[in-house]
Amino acid sequence: MNRRFQVLKSFVRKEILQILRDKRMRIVLFVAPLMQLVIFGVAISTETRNVNLALFAKPHDVLTRDLYQRALQTHWFIPARISGADPFAWIQSSEADAVIVGPTDGLGRSLSSGKGTIQLLINAQNSIRAQAIESYLKVIANSVYHDADGGRNWGGVQFSVRALFNPTMETSMYMVPGVMSMLMCLITILLTSMSVAREKEMGTIETLTAAPIDSWDLMLGKTIPFIILGAVQAVLILVFAVVAFGLPIRGPIGFLFFASLLMITATVAIGLLISTISKSQQQAMLGGFIYLFPSYLLSGLMFPIENMPIYIQPIAYINPLTHYIGLLRNILLVGGDSHYFYTHILVLFVIAIVISFFAFRRFRSMIL
Amino acid sequence: MKRAVAIAKKEFAHILRDRFTLSMALILPLMVVFIFGVAIEFNQANIPTAFLDQDRSQSSRQLIESFSSSNYFIASSIYDIGRIIRTLESESAKAAIVIPPQFEKNLLSGRGSEVQILVNAADNQSAGSVLSYIGDMQVRVNKKLVGTSASRFPAIESRFLFNPELNSKWFTVPGLMVIIMTMIALLLTALTIAKEWEFGSMELLLSTPVKPLEIIVGKIAPYAVLCFVAIVLTYLCARILFGVPFRGNHLTYLFGCFLFLTTYLAQGLMISVITRKQMLAMQISMLTGLLPSQLLSGFIFPIENMPTIFQWLTMILPARWFMEISRDSFLQGASFWQMRTPFLALLVQMILFVAVAIRKFKKDLEL
């Protein structure tokens, strides 16, 4: 037993040394993810902003002008720089994202005649953005008429919105856990699968199988280094996110680490599984992508799962990333609910065990 | 030239023999198109929403009903104010709507009433959707409950240009061209050439009378062809399966594809020369190519939403410019002249990348 442990230890050590020997690899593994986190965390925003808004209305149309001015006062809209006099051309040339078109005889007059209509022209290439622009302007329009009325006859329903857990609706708070799990997945899966594929490609796998160690040791020796690297990376990214972005850790940190460990085990096992079916590093990498792509897209990382067609949803729920991202967001931002933690950790645990089982079986039959 | 062709032939044979790589290179694009075309829907519907009705009047029920009949929201009821936060924490609802006591009374007396909406902003995506539906809901609810007369409240009539049905597939599928080309052009090229270095067979090739440039052209050409096959496949999927219109000029678009492809092939070559190792080449092309082209090119997250400094930063990404060309060609039917900025930017980048890649390659040989 002791000897076995020694063998395993030296195996793990060799593997880690081999990866970290290359200075560029060290940078790629430990510095690049932090840069990525900063860039994606800060740059990516889901809130529609900086909409180039233009106005097409008669000079005396005070109400429509008021609407336009109010829209510009919010942080959503900026005035469009336009040339020419055709509102369609403004949008066609991307000078404006949206144009408010007032009625031909002015809004005030057409209102008193009983049918005032303001037209909005919106570039709907991006359908979500287009919807958000419409909704913003509707809210602003309501306030214009409300005030134009002197507020006297207004007796309607107003909505006041409170954003919980992330009050300023900062996208970085939402994206950082996502990007974190994405980077972890990417690096562990691809490194593991390519490392084993490399042995196959170089022919050194035969040497390894001929060595006096059993398949267990070989498999552990090929996976433990990547679990360690993944764990170090997870801690590094998390600490960095807390320091640089002020990411809160509202829930129990123990759960967080346990969940991360389960997740890394699952991804390393997936990497191993991929390496068993590929013959070269190129194949391993492509195999990794075939797995990673759907796993990112169907994880709720960027696109909510409830939105997917009902027959796709089961795929999303057997995806370990779904549960991990859910847990990360819940533990970090919401601080939440032990029932939620236990359920998702249990699911993650089962997934990790099942994948590891299959990976081990395939790996053993591959080297025997 | 003949020698370049010979190398290209050999590389082709390699790819064709390697069924795995070949099928992956073709399956991957189709899979991505399928997922984006079928599984992912941006326009969020059926947001689970909990209602706390403290008024229990006809008006409050009407309010809840206008929410649940809007098909943006799925309503459930909670009866205890203390449960609101718990409901949101356990994520069984994305939003909670609190109707105050005296809601109906205040409405009828003309004082107006305020309804509070709590959203779980840890999930920005859903929270954003809730916010963007509120303008609409406010108009609907007021019409129903207060019956505001048409004369005082002008209707807002929106015309959605280029995508009148707000079909989010029209937005994503043209963007997929960029993603797929990045995957094949950048990653496969970087890996193949890094492999030659890693196995030392590049030195062998270089010692033959074949000129370095011929080697490169020969090695890269088959991947360029593969990439074009993938582009055509994606294009056909977009048009036939998802009914995305193509309003621009095919020739112009093809020219854009060519520029973009060359840029990324050159970048792939550069990465392989610098790294000379497959694992490292892969990681670097992921970090400099694939992730930025997905996240910073405006593919899903609009560039306009980014902080100004990042908007500037995205200009160094070829993917950003090609994304613009792709979308404008498909949906907007823009002419070459209208797209001159992205074309010019892409051209400059292509020349730059090719020049640097070739210089780097030549310099490496002299050492």
Interchain CB distance below 8 Å, A118 and B154:
yes
- With 50 as the cut, is the pLDDT of residue B150 above it? no
**Over residues B252-257, mean pLDDT:** 92
Which of chain B's residues have a Cβ under 8 Å away from the Cβ of A28? 280, 283-284, 287
Output the pLDDT for position B269.
87
* B233 neighbors B184 (Cβ within 8 angstroms): no
- With 70 as the cut, is the pLDDT of residue A154 above it? no
Interchain CB distance below 8 Å, A282 and B188:
yes
Which of chain A's residues have a Cβ under 8 Å away from the Cβ of B248? none
Q: Please give the torsion angle defined by the CA atoms of residues B211, B212, B215 and B221, in that order, rounded to the nearest 10 degrees.
A: -110
**What sign results for the dihedral spanned by CA atoms B306, B308, B310, B316?**
positive
Residue with tokens 């979308």: B327
Which of chain B's residues have a Cβ under 8 Å away from the Cβ of A121? 158-159, 161
Regarding beta strands B47-53 and A77-79, do their DSSP bridges make them parallel or antiparallel, or are they unpaired? Answer: unpaired
pLDDT in tens, A279-302: 888 888 888 888 888 898 888 887
Find the farthest-apart pair of alpha carbons in chain A and give their distance in angstroms, rounded: 95
Which of chain A's residues have a Cβ under 8 Å away from the Cβ of B160? 122, 124, 127, 130
Task: List, edge to edge, every strand of the sheet that includes B113-120.
Answer: A157-164, B113-120, B95-99, B47-53, B73-78
pTM of the model: 0.80
pLDDT band at A61 (very low <50, low <70, confident <90, very high): confident
pLDDT in tens, B31-89: 888 888 777 777 677 788 889 988 888 888 888 888 888 878 888 888 888 888 888 88
DSSP letters along B316-349, please?
G-HHHHHHHHHHIIIII---TTTTHHHHHHHHHH
DSSP letters along B263-294, please?
HHHHHHHHHHHHH-SHHHHHHHHIIIIIHHHH
Tokens of residue B121, six digits:
């902003």
Output the pLDDT for position A354.
95
Which of chain A's residues have a Cβ under 8 Å away from the Cβ of B28? 286, 289-290, 293
**Rounded to whole angstroms, what are the CA distances from B198 to A29, A337, B145?**
20, 51, 73
Size of interface A-B (CB pairs under 8 A): 375
Interchain CB distance below 8 Å, A159 and B142:
no
Regarding beta strands B113-120 and A157-164, do their DSSP bridges make them parallel or antiparallel, or are they unpaired? Answer: parallel
Residues 6 or more apart whose CB falls under 8 angstroms from that of B189 comprise: B219, B220, B223, B264, B265, B268, B269, B272
Interchain CB distance below 8 Å, A156 and B45:
no
- Out of B42, B43, B287, name the one closest to residue A36 (CB): B287
Output the pLDDT for position B254.
92
Q: Is B136 on the interface with A (CB under 8 A)?
A: yes
Interchain CB distance below 8 Å, A121 and B168:
no
Q: Is B82 helix (H, G, I), strand (E, B) or coil?
A: coil
Q: Is B279 on the interface with A (CB under 8 A)?
A: yes
Question: CB-hemisphere CA count at 13 Å for B213?
Answer: 6
Interchain CB distance below 8 Å, A24 and B275:
yes
Q: Does the structure's ipTM exceed the value 0.95?
A: no
Output the pLDDT for position A244.
84
Burial class (CB in 10 A: 0-12, 13-18, 19+), B363: exposed
Q: Is B127 on the interface with A (CB under 8 A)?
A: yes
